[in-house]
Structure 1
Amino acid sequence: MKNLCFLISFFLFFQFIYPQDGVPFKENKQFYLQGNSILIGNNILGDDPTEPLMDIGIPNDVVKMKYIDIDNDETTFSSSEAIIKSTPVKPKISYAALYWCGLYPDEKSALRKSGNRMVHVGRGERDAAVNSILFKTPSGIYETLIGKIIFDSYNTEVFKTNSPYVCYADVTTKLQNLATINGTYTVANVKATEGEISGGGSAGWLLYVIYEDPSESPKYFTTYNGLVEVNKEVIDIDFKGFKSKEEGIVNTTIALGAMEGDRKIKTDELLIFDKKSGDYKPLSNKVREEKNFFNSSITMGDEFFTDRNPHSANTLGFDLLKMEIPNPNNDLLDNASTQANLRFQAKADRFYLFFVAFETEINKDFLEEKINVASDSLVSGPAITEISEPIVEEKKITIISTEKKEIKPLEKEKVVPKKPIALSEEDKIKKEVRIQSMSVPGLASGYYLVTNVFSVKENAAKWSQFLTGKNYRPQIFINSRNNWNYVYVANNKALLPVYEKWKEYKGFEYFKDIWIMKINL
C-alpha cells in the first residue's frame, strides 16, 4: 500500500514534474518507402484467464479483472497471443515496435463499503519494473525485453486513481532475423492491477511493423507516442513532412492504441480536419461509431480482429485499430496535401491515448528526393559513414574517339572519392540531446531549453515558481496549436550556448527530461 504521509510530503514536488495530461505526443519514427504496415496485439486483463469475453454489454468498471494467461507456462503470470498472416514470406523489415501498457495503482484492488459509500482499496506492492516483459516470436522461445518507459504515472500526482503506464521496445532486428514473420507472437508478464479499480482496469500490447514491398505504392509512414488523457479538453496531432501523390485517390491509413475506452459510454470521437469546410469531421466505420469510436475492441479495417488468443469481442478498455481514412473524391486529402490534422475528444468517457501511426501515399519524385537526403529521421535511404582516411582506388577508363571511331584505353588513373560529408554542429549535438522543431508566431527565433510542458496554465505557473526558488529564471511561451504552456530556462539564437546549459542542468533530478526546442528557424 502507498504510504499517505510519503505522498503528502512529496506532493509539492511531484505535481510539477509531469504535465497535466501525462506526456505530450511526439514523433518517434519517420519512413519514406514503397511498402505497407502490419498491426497486431491483444489485451492482457479479462474476466477469465483463458476464455474469451464475447458479451459486449459488460462495462470494464464492473469486472473483477484477472490476468489472461494462455501459454500453459508456470513461469508466466500473464500472457496473450496474436497472429501475423497473409504477408510476404520474407519481407524486408524496416521497423518493428512493441508497446505494452496497463492501469497499475496496486497489485490487487477491491471495492469495499466504507460508511455509506463504496471505496476502492488496494493491496500488495506494485512491481516497479513495468518495462520488463517476455516476448516470443513464431517458433521461438520467450526472451526478456527491457523496454523504455515512455511514462509511468505512479508516484506522481498525475492520474492517481489508476496509475497508467506505457512502455516501448524496438524489435526490428528480432523480426529481421526470422525466416518468416508470419505466425504467432506471444507477450507475457505485462503488469496491471487485478480486481476492481476506479474506472475499471485495462492493459494490453501491440506490435507495429513496417516493411518494404516493390508492388506497393510509395508511402510516408510516421509513428507518434506518449500518454495523454482525452477528457473534455481536445488533443490535436498534426502530421507533416509528406506530399500526396499527384494523381488518383489518396489512400491514407491510421493505427491507434488506447486504454479505458468504454463501449457503454458514448461521447468519445476521432476527427480529421476538413480544409474544404474549415472544420473537423468525425471518422467512423462499420465497427466504430462516430460518437463511440473507442469502444473496447480490436479492429482492422471494417472487421473485428480475431486472429488472437483469446479473441474477445469485449477487450475491457483496451482499444487497438488500423483503418483507412474514408476519402471519397479526395475530399479530406487531395493530390496537393502536405499535412493532416487529427483531433481526439471525449465528454463523458475518458481514455488514455498512447500510440498513433499515420501512413499516406506520396508521389514518386518526393520519395526519390527523400531517399537521397541523409537526415537523422530518414531510415530508408543509404547510410552515410565517416571514413577516417581517404581511399584511393584505380579505374580503367575508355573513351570513343570521334575521329577514328575506335575505343582507346587510357592509362590507369587514381580516383580520389569525395570527402565524407561533415556533420553540422546541430547534427552532432542531436546525437546527445533531443531537439524538436516548432513554429511559434511572435516568439524570437532561436533555441530554447525546455524543462516541462503543461496543458493547464496554473500548473505551468507553479512549476515556474518552483524553479525560481531554485535560482533559475524560467519563462513561458504558449504553442498556439494546442495552447500548451512550455517552461524554459535558457534561449539563444545559437545552439551551442543552449547545449552547454543542457549539459550543466541534465544531471539534476528535477531536470531529468529537459530538451531543446528549435523555434522559428
Structure 2
Amino acid sequence: MRHSLGPLFRRATVGVLALAAVWAASSPPAAAPAAAPAPEAESLSFTERYRSLQHGGIVRAANASITCRAAQRPSCPDAQAGGSGVNGDFDMFYVDVDRDPNTYNSSRAEVRLPNGARVTYARLYWGGNLRVGEQKPPEDNGRVLIAEPGGEYKQLLADTLVGHRVMDGMDAFQASADVTQLLREGGAGLYTVAQINIAMGRSTAGAWGGWTLLVAYENPAEPLRHLAVRDGFTPLRSGTGQEIRLSGLGFAAGAWGRAGLVTYNGDRGTTGDSLTVTTGQTESVLTNSANPRDDVLNSTISEPGADAARVPAHANHLGYDSDVFDLGSGLQQAGDEATFRIRSQQDAAWAGVLFVAVDARR
C-alpha cells in the first residue's frame, strides 16, 4: 500500500531537525508541522561546504534506498551480489529494513569513529530519480527521516538549495542538511535513513537513489590534516565532466590523503568514466579494487580496508555510488593545490559531493 509522505512524516517523527538543522534533544514527542518545499535550482556549481585544519579526518556512512525486485531471478540476486546488471534492466523496488509500517523505504549504514574522536561537522546528503514507472511529486525532495543508533526517527529538512533537474529521461535531485548535533549525541554506530523521495518501477533511464552521511572529526592522536567538503549538483554530460579545484592545502611530497565521491546513475560495466587528481603537472587516475580506472561510476559503496557495515550490504547499488579512494601517487609532488576531475563518456550520471582529507605540510 502506498502512503502520502505528509502523514508518514508526522507519524514517524518524534523530533524535528529544521531548516537551520537545530535539534532539541529534550523536546517531547510532537507532530512535525507541515513545511514549505525547500527552494530548488536546476544546477548547483560545486562550492565549499566545510573546511578545517585539525588533527583528525572524515568518515562516511552510505547506502542505497532502492534495488531490483528479488523475484527477478537469477539476474537480480546476481546483480546485488556484484554482477554486471544495471538499473534500467530491472523493475526496481524500495529497500525497507526498519519493519516500520509507516515508512516505505529505509536503509542503514555504520558511522565508524576512532576512540577519542570528537565530531566537528556532519552533513547528510540524499537524492534520487522521481520519474521511472511512476512520477513522484517534488514537494518532498527536501525532507527525510533519520534515526541515530538505538534512537527514534526525526524529521530532517534540507537547509540549503535542492538541486533538481529534468534531463535525459530522469527527474533528478539532491538535497542535504547539517546533522552535526545529532552525530555529536548519537556517536558511532548504525544510522537509518528513510523516506527518500524516489520513484519505483522500470524505465530506460532506471530508478536510483540513496544517501551519504559525512562526518568530520577531531582526534589529537591523528596527524594534522586539511579537511574539505565541496558539494553541488551537475550532470556529467558526455566527456565534459566536472572540475573541482582545491587550493590552500599545503601538503608535502608523498603525503597521506583520501578523497571521497558521491555520484548518481553510474552503470556498472559502462566504461569511459573516471576520477583523476592533478598536482603540479601530474594527473593521476584514482582507482581501487572496487572501482576500475575507466568505470569508477559503477554503483559501488567502497572505502580503503574493510567496508563499514550496511543493511542491506549489496555489492551493486544499481545507480548509486559513494566511494573513498587513497590519493596515493596523486600526492607524490609537494604543493598547495589539487584539481579533481570527474568524467563520464557514456553514463548519464550526476555529481553531488567531493570530500578530501590530506596530511598538512609541517
| Equivalent in 161, 165, 168 of residue 173 of structure 2 | 165
Q: Indicate the structure (1 or 2) with the bigger Cα radius of gyration.
A: 1
Deviation at 1:319, TM superposition (A): 0.3
Match of 1:62 in 2: 89
Find the aligned partners of 2:268 and 2:338 in 1 and give their Cα distance.
28
| Structure 1 consecutive aligned stretches of length 4 or more whose deviation exceeds 6 Å | 49-52
Greater relative contact order (Cα < 8 A, sep 6+): 2
Q: Which residue of 1 aligns with 2:323?
A: 321
Q: 1:86 to 1:226 in 2, by over 3 A?
A: closer
CA contact (8 A) 1:64 1:196 kept: yes
1:358 is matched with which residue? 356
Q: How large is the Cα RMSD of the aligned pairs? A: 2.3
More strand by share: 2
Task: Report the alpha carbon displacement of residue 165 of structure 1 after superposing the two structures with TM.
Answer: 0.6
Task: Tell me how far 1:62 sits from its aligned partner.
Answer: 1.0
Kindly provide the CA deviation profile for residues 159-188 of structure 1, in whole angstroms up to 9, marking residues without a partner as x.
26211111111110111123xx22110001
**1:224 aligned residue:** 230
Within the candidate set 254, 259, 266, 2:259 is matched to 254
The one of 236, 247, 258 equivalent to 2:243 is 236
Partner of 2:269, secondary structure, is coil
Separation (CA, whole Å) in 1 of partners of 2:241 and 2:278: 13
Q: 1:345 to 1:185 in 2, by over 3 A?
A: same
Distance in 1 (alpha carbons) for counterparts of 2:267 and 2:95: 19
Residues 449-488 of structure 1: pairs in structure 2 closer than 5 A:
none
Amino acid at match of 1:282: V
- Whether 2:114 is the aligned partner of 1:131: answer no
Deviations 1:239-259 (A, max 9, x none): 0122114xx630111011111
Whichever residue aligns with residue 76 of structure 1, its letter is T
SS of 2:169's partner is: coil
Give the counterpart of 1:87 among 114, 117, 139: 114
In the other structure, the counterpart of 1:402 is none
Q: Map of 1:430-445 to 2, 5 A cutoff?
A: none
SS in 2 for 1:61: helix
Q: Distance in 2 between matches of 1:238 and 1:306?
A: 29
Residue of structure 2 aligned with 1:215, choices 200, 218, 221: 221
Matched, 1:175 2:183: yes
Matches within 5 A, 1:226-375: 226-232=232-238, 233-245=240-252, 249-277=254-282, 280-301=283-304, 305=307, 307-327=309-329, 332-335=331-334, 337-364=335-362
> Which residue of the other structure, out of 135, 147, 151, is the alignment partner of 1:140?
151
Change (3 A) 1:127 1:283: closer
Match of 2:62 among 33, 41, 52: 41
- Cα deviation per residue 1:27-56 (whole Å; 9 max; x = unaligned)? 111111001221111000011489972142
Give the Cα–Cα distance (whole angstroms) in 1 for the partners of residues 343 and 303 of structure 2: 21
1:27 to 38, 48, 69: 48
Give the match for residue 99 of structure 1. 125
Kindly indicate whether the alpha-carbon contact (under 8 Å) linking 1:64 and 1:195 is maintained by their aligned counterparts in 2: yes
Alpha-carbon distance in 1 for matches of 2:338, 2:82: 36
- Whole-Å separation in 1 of the counterparts to 2:305 and 2:161: 30
Q: Point out where structure 1 has 5 or more consecutive residues left out of the alignment.
A: 1-16, 110-121, 365-521
8 Å contact 1:54–1:312 — kept in the other structure? yes
Checking the alignment, whether the CA contact within 8 Å between 2:112 and 2:308 is kept in structure 1 is: no
Cα deviation, 1:419-456, whole Å, max 9, x if unaligned, reads xxxxxxxxxxxxxxxxxxxxxxxxxxxxxxxxxxxxxx
TM-score (norm 1): 0.57
State the 1:18 CA deviation. 5.9
- Identical columns (%): 23
Distance 2:138 2:129 in 1: 13
Cα distance 1:274–1:221, how it changes in 2: closer, same or farther (>3 A)?
closer
CA distance in 2, matches of 1:183, 1:55: 25
* CA distance in structure 2 between the aligned counterparts of 1:91 and 1:324, rounded to whole angstroms: 21
> What corresponds to 2:5 in structure 1?
none
**Is 1:286–1:302's contact at 8 Å kept on the other side of the alignment?**
no
Give the conservation status (yes or no) of the 8 Å contact 1:49–1:67: no
Secondary structure of 2:183's partner?
A: helix
- Change beyond 3 A, Cα 1:128–1:197: farther
**d(CA) in 2 for partners of 1:24, 1:198:** 27
Q: TM-score, normalised by structure 2?
A: 0.81
**8 Å Cα contact 1:150-1:226 kept in structure 2:** no
